[in-house]
Amino acid sequence: MNQTALSKAKPFRSAVSAEAVLDTLVTATMVLDTDLKVVFVNSAAESLLHCSATQIVGSALNQILLSAEDLQSNLRKALREMQPFTARETLLQLPDNLREEVDLTVSILDNAHYLVLEMYPTTRLTRINQSKASTDRQATTRGLIRGLAHEVKNPLGGIRGAAQLLERELPSAALSEYTGVIIAEADRLKDLVDRMLGPHQRPNIEAIYLPEICEHVIAVAASEFSDHIEWLRDYDPSLPDVAGDRDQIIQAVLNVVRNACQALINTTAAKITLQTRITRQFTIGKTRHRQVMCLNIIDNGPGVDSRDLERIFYPMISGRPDGSGLGLSITQHIVSEHNGVIQVSSTFGQTIFSIFLPFEQPAEEAGQQERR
C-alpha cells in the first residue's frame, strides 16, 4: 500500500465505538495496520499475550510474537489478496519464554487498512479443564485423607497414652528408653498426618505485597541451598496488594521454590525467576474474575516427567527418592483455601509453576458473584 493511501487512512482510534465493542469481547482480539504494527488490543488479548496495551500498541508484531515469520508472511498475503484465513493450533512464542497455542482467525477491515486477529487460546482451555479435573480429584483425595487421618490419629493417641502409663510403672529407668521410642514414633506419625492435611487454621486475611513475600522466600531458600543458583526478580511494581494470609502464602511459595532448588542441583548456570503479573478475564472454579494476580516461579532445570504432571499435587507423590511428596500438596491446599489455583507447565529447560490469586477474598455471603 503506498504512502498516499496510508495518509488517507483514518486513525483506528477515532472509531471509539469500535474500540468499545472490541474491548468487551472475551475473544482475544488484536488489530494491525498494513505495516503489521499493533494499533489496538482488547483486555482478553492483554491477558493472552501477558503484556499491557501500553506495552503492545505501536510495536511491530515480530516484537510481540517471536519466530512468527510464517504468520507474518500469511498476514501480508491476506492483505495483498484481500483474503481472510483461519489457522488452527498456532503456537505463539512470546517474550520471557512463554508459549500459547491458539486457533487464529484473521479478517480484513476498512478496505485493507487493518487486519483483525481473533485468537482462541486452546492452551488455556486445556489448562482450565485440567485444573477443574485436578481440583475435583484433589477434593476426593483430601476427603479420603481426612477420613484416614481420623482413623490413624485415634489409635496413635491410645498407643502414646499407654506408653506413658507403662513408663511410670517400669521397675528400671533404663527400660524407659523403649517407651520413649514408642512415644516419639507416635508423635512423628501424628505430625506426618497433620502435615498431609495442611494448615489447620482458616487463612488470617490481610493485605500482602507479593514482591515482599518473594524476597522473604528467596532469602530463606538461598540460605538453605548453595549459592550456585542465580535469583532473578521480575516484579511489576504497579500491581496492588492481594488479600491473603502472609504466613500461609510464604509457605506455599517456599514449597514450590524449594522443589525448584532441588531440581537444579545438577544444572549448570541454574536460574530461578519469580515474576508477578496481572492476568485478565480468568476463571477460577465457577467464578470469572476480571483480573487476578499471577505469580510465576520459573526454573531452567530438567523439567518434570510428563507422567508425573497429572499427579504432581497429590500427597505422598514425589519425583525424588528422598522426597516426602507433601510440599506441593500443601501448596495446592493453601492456594485453594485462598480461592486461587496453581498450574504447572514443564519442558526440558523450563518449568513454570503459576499461582493465580484473586485480589480480594469474598465475604461468605458473596457466593459466586464476579469480583474486582
Write 98-103 long-range contacts (CB < 8 A, 24+): 98/50, 99/123, 100/48, 100/49, 100/124, 102/28, 102/48
Domain span holding position 318: 206-366
213 and 185 in a common domain: no
276 and 137 in a common domain: no
Q: What is the domain-level CATH number for residue 356?
A: 3.30.565.10
Residue whose C-alpha is closest to residue 292's, from 339, 228, 237, 353? 339
* Tens of pLDDT, residues 151-169: 777 788 888 888 888 888 8
Q: Specify the 3-state DSSP secondary structure of 290.
A: strand
Which of 197, 219, 234 delimits the end of a domain?
Answer: 197
160 and 23 in a common domain: no
Beta bridge partner(s), residue 277: 294
Which of 152, 175, 197 delimits the end of a domain?
Answer: 197
Identify which has the larger pLDDT, 134 or 7: 134
Identify which has the larger pLDDT, 128 or 73: 73
130 and 115 in a common domain: no
Residue appearing with cell numbers 528408653: 177
Residue 217 lies in a domain: yes
When pLDDT is averaged across residues 174-197 and rounded to a whole number, the result is 79
Q: Is the pLDDT reported for residue 369 higher than 60?
A: no
Number of domains comprising the chain: 3
CA–CA dist 33, 53 (Å, integer): 16
Q: Specify the 3-state DSSP secondary structure of 197.
A: helix
119 and 12 in a common domain: yes
CA–CA dist 36, 75 (Å, integer): 8
When pLDDT is averaged across residues 33-55 and rounded to a whole number, the result is 87
pTM for the whole structure = 0.58
Beta bridge partner(s), residue 100: 92
What is the pLDDT, as a whole number, of residue 9?
45
* Phi, psi for 202 (deg, rounded to 5): -70, 150
Q: What is the domain-level CATH number for residue 110?
A: 3.30.450.20
248 and 219 in a common domain: yes
When pLDDT is averaged across residues 26-37 and rounded to a whole number, the result is 89
> pLDDT class for 322, splitting at 50, 70, 90?
low
When pLDDT is averaged across residues 209-222 and rounded to a whole number, the result is 94
What is the pLDDT, as a whole number, of residue 7?
42
Beta bridge partner(s), residue 32: 38, 115
Which of 197, 227, 249 delimits the end of a domain?
Answer: 197
344 and 218 in a common domain: yes
**Residue 85 amino acid letter:** F
Residue 50 lies in a domain: yes
Contact (CB, 8 A) for 220 and 258: no
343 and 221 in a common domain: yes
150 and 176 in a common domain: yes
Cβ partners under 8 Å of residue 146, min gap 6: 197
316 and 210 in a common domain: yes
The sign of the dihedral angle between the CA atoms of 51, 56, 61, 66 is negative
CA–CA dist 275, 297 (Å, integer): 7
CA–CA dist 231, 42 (Å, integer): 33
Cα dist from 28 to 22, 61, 71, 215, whole Å: 9, 15, 17, 33
When pLDDT is averaged across residues 137-158 and rounded to a whole number, the result is 69
Above pLDDT 70, what percent of the chain?
76
263 and 357 in a common domain: yes
CA–CA dist 307, 317 (Å, integer): 12
Residue 35 lies in a domain: yes
Residue 49 lies in a domain: yes
Above pLDDT 90, what percent of the chain?
27
Residue 317 lies in a domain: yes
Please give the DSSP secondary-structure letter assigned to residue 364.
G
C-alpha cell at 296: 510465576
When pLDDT is averaged across residues 272-290 and rounded to a whole number, the result is 84
Q: Is the pLDDT reported for residue 370 higher than 50?
A: no
> pLDDT class for 198, splitting at 50, 70, 90?
low
Residue 371 lies in a domain: no
Residue 372 lies in a domain: no
C-alpha cell at 24: 468487551
CA–CA dist 38, 29 (Å, integer): 11
Q: Is the pLDDT reported for residue 129 higher than 50?
A: no
Mean pLDDT of the chain: 80
213 and 184 in a common domain: no
**Cβ neighbourhood burial of 30 (10 Å; 0-12, 13-18, 19+):** buried
Residue 163 lies in a domain: yes
Residue whose C-alpha is closest to residue 217's, from 242, 187, 248? 248
